[in-house]
Each structure stands twice: as C-alpha cells, then as structure tokens.
Amino acid sequence: MSSLKSQIEDSFKKALTERDEARLSLFRMIKSAIKNKEIELGHDLDDAEMTTLLEKEAKQRRDSIEQFQNGGRAELAQKEQSELDIVASFLPEKMSEEEIRGIVKQVIGELGEKTEDFGKIMGAVMAELKGKADGALVQKIVREETGA
C-alpha cells in the first residue's frame, strides 16, 4: 500500500471514530475513486498515480466552487471549499510562480525554440513539473515566455 493511500486510510479511520460526517463522506468518495482506478488499471496505485487522482478530485472541487459562486450558492461553495482544503492537504506543495518561470526558461533554453512549438514546450515543462504546479499557471507562464 502506498504511503499516500495509507494516509488517506488513516484519515478515514480518524473521521470514522470522530463521527465527522462531512469528512467521512469525502473520504468515502475518494476511496471509491481509488478503488475504481485500481480496477481500471489492474493494480494498486502508487504515490504518483494517487497524486494524479487527488489532483483530479481537487480540480473537480475548484470547478464546482466556481459554478456555485456564479449561481449565488455560497453555502454549497463553502462545502466544496472545505472538501478542497482536505484534498489539498494530501497533495504535494505547489511551486511558486518564480520557480515555474525558471523551469520554463530552462526548458526553452534546452529545446532552443522560442515560439515555434508551444505544444512541445508545454509538454516538456509539464513532464518536468508533474503534480508540482497548476497546469493553468504553467500555460500562462509558457505563453508569456514564448509570446505565443
């Protein structure tokens, strides 16, 4: 069992003993997503796969928050925000904009291409930053650096 998976299991058990229904509900959804992914892939998830799954869960919550706020449903947005905070606590800390910009410049220098192929640069940067940075922020920085 991966360490990230065991952390989630421990948090689930803690929420169970504390009878914290909100956290229990969230952990049940996450455990279900993990089990479904393991069935789909045919093996237990490692930490990298767990991180990818949790990133997806976090993105779903960010999208829901935005939709609820646009729809004037502050109480539902708050619920999603609290779930997002819990999911984010299991994710690795994100890199700062300056750190991302440095890596983008390094990748552009290595590829030796300024504006020819945005997709190639994005692909190389995202491979380098897998799970460490928000894709939308990386895309914004790559566009700024390449002028694309």
Cβ atoms 63, 44 nearer than 8 A: no
State whether 80 and 101 are in the same domain: no
- Give the residue from 68, 88, 108 where a domain finishes: 88
pTM above 0.75, yes or no: no
State whether 82 and 25 are in the same domain: yes
**Angle, to 10 degrees, between the axis of helix 97-111 and the axis of helix 135-146?**
50
State whether 84 and 113 are in the same domain: no
Question: What are the structure tokens assigned to 82, written together?
Answer: 């609290």
State whether 36 and 78 are in the same domain: yes
* Alpha-carbon torsion, ordered 6, 31, 133, 3, to 10 deg: 10
Overall number of domains in the chain: 2
State whether 83 and 112 are in the same domain: no
State whether 12 and 64 are in the same domain: yes
The string of pLDDT tens digits covering residues 25-66 is 999 999 999 999 999 999 998 888 888 899 899 889 999 999
59: CATH: 1.10.1510.10
State whether 15 and 80 are in the same domain: yes
The string of pLDDT tens digits covering residues 65-84 is 999 999 999 999 999 999 99
Place of tokens 């993105």: 59
* Alpha-carbon torsion, ordered 11, 26, 92, 44, to 10 deg: 80
State whether 101 and 32 are in the same domain: no
Quote the CA–CA distance of 74 and 82 in Å, as a whole number.
12
- The parent domain of residue 125 ranges over 97-146
The string of pLDDT tens digits covering residues 105-145 is 888 777 775 556 777 878 788 877 776 777 778 888 888 77
State whether 83 and 105 are in the same domain: no
109: CATH: 1.10.10.410
State whether 16 and 75 are in the same domain: yes
State whether 80 and 137 are in the same domain: no
State whether 27 and 66 are in the same domain: yes
